[in-house]
Copies of this chain bind each other. A is one copy, B any other.
Amino acid sequence: MECLPGFREFYPEPLPLKDAWSCDARNHLFAAWRHTARAYGFREYDGPPLEPLELYTAKSGAEIVGQLFNFVDKGDRAVAMRPEMTPTVARMIAASERAYKKPIKWFSLPQLFRYEKQQKGRLREHFQLNCDIFGEPDVSADAEIVALLIDVLRRLGLDSSDFVIRLSSRQAWQRFHESRGGDPAKAYEFYQVIDKIEREKPEVTAEKLAALGIAMADVQEFIRAGEPTPELRAVLDNLAARGLREYVAIDYNVIRGLAYYTGIVFEAFDRKGEFRAIAGGGRYDQLVALLSRGRVDIPALGFGMGDVVLLELLKARGKLPASDSGLDSVVIIEDESLRPESLALVQRLREAGRLVDYSLTPAKGDKQLKRALELGARYSHRVERDAGGAVVYRTRHLASRCELVGDLASALATSDPAR
């Protein structure tokens, strides 16, 4: 009854097992993802983890089924665990876009599932930040989505020495292909060759290109020149105005494998080239119309960023925060006759927003203090009786060992509010 291969369990820190996944680190990502998307005015949505199989075959053809967790449910429906979020959000947009002011800026943090061939470190689920803008054809939206991608990574402590966004354009390649007399019906086949150009042997690429009537040297020169299209130029200027120019580079090696991209496309990579792509996206103006069978035609663009490569990169660059229980206070109970008053203090501190722990059962004061220090609590509190028998509260700032003795109100006032 072990965990299924390719699935993860997330443990609280300190991690109990070698190679265990940290729920704290995952939540650190989620918090940065949510904060930055919200800072950009994006609103959160969510959809079902289980969907009709047809939602995926309609867009990607029947061959995708081999990579899905799909089955027939007890109501004889062909269903699949979602491998990506775009079809779901396209359906939600098609159903609701008339009710929202444009542009619609949405994000989500779904867990996604693919039945990948089993390899070391190859997972079958991951979490992904999905950010999309619907209803804005202007290139200012492309700049906004790229800026958001940059700021998500900056929020996590990465800078321009750590990562770069490689900007490209489906249109640039389309015009290239047309201007060289390429067969429009074979444009997607040509894009697929470009998509593999960095991973494939040059002679293999040259052969494939020749079969399409395109010269390898011509393609190489086009990539080398890296002349931005007017749309890409506008994105570069827009990002420069924000002070983000150093995070992007024109790179026509990028074209994105998926068929549905129509405009600017981009991928985020670590500068050292040690990892797979951190994120990728682009403009897909015709997808909502395709998935809604022409009922709703709305321009769209967005990106997806998975948790797995990103966690690896943050770990390698030392950018994951140290384990922290987040505790504000520990209430130490030495005199069991004062447990009711101590419980009342625990309650009041928690009601005041503090993160508070205490020993459920009798234990030595020293041991309780040691535990408070291990947990990284900032304050300890003790309920005591003064010489006259009145209940008083002793609050200690653990780092400085400063102590203050006073009434309940003073105990609440002395300790800072929750971080």
A39 in complex: contacting residue of B136, B238, B241, B355, CB < 8 Å: B355
Question: Interface digits, A136-176 against B, CB 8 Å rule (1 contact, 0 not)?
Answer: 10101100100100010000000000000000000000000
CB proximity of A213 to chain B, nearest CB, Å: 38
Q: Is B17's CB under 8 angstroms from A54's CB?
A: no
A347 in complex: contacting residue of B16, B96, B243, B291, CB < 8 Å: B243
In the complex, which residues of chain B have a beta carbon less than 8 angstroms from the beta carbon of A233?
none
Count chain A residues whose beta carbon lies closer than 8 angstroms to a beta carbon of B. Answer: 104
CB proximity of A100 to chain B, nearest CB, Å: 6
Q: Is B241's CB under 8 angstroms from A344's CB?
A: yes
Q: Is B38's CB under 8 angstroms from A113's CB?
A: no
CB proximity of A22 to chain B, nearest CB, Å: 10
The answer to whether the Cβ of A216 comes within 8 Å of any Cβ in the partner chain is no
CB proximity of A79 to chain B, nearest CB, Å: 6
User: How would you classify the secondary structure of chain A's contact residues: helix, strand, loop or mixed?
Assistant: mixed
In the complex, which residues of chain B have a beta carbon less than 8 angstroms from the beta carbon of A350?
39-40, 151
In the complex, which residues of chain B have a beta carbon less than 8 angstroms from the beta carbon of A40?
350, 356-357
A residues bordering B, Cβ < 8 Å?
Answer: 1-5, 7-17, 20, 23-24, 26-27, 38-41, 43-52, 54-55, 58, 66, 69, 71-75, 77, 79, 81, 87-88, 91-92, 95-101, 103, 106, 111, 113, 115, 118, 125, 136, 138, 140-141, 144, 147, 151, 237-238, 240-244, 291, 325-327, 339-341, 343-344, 346-347, 350-351, 353-357, 360-361, 371, 374-375, 418
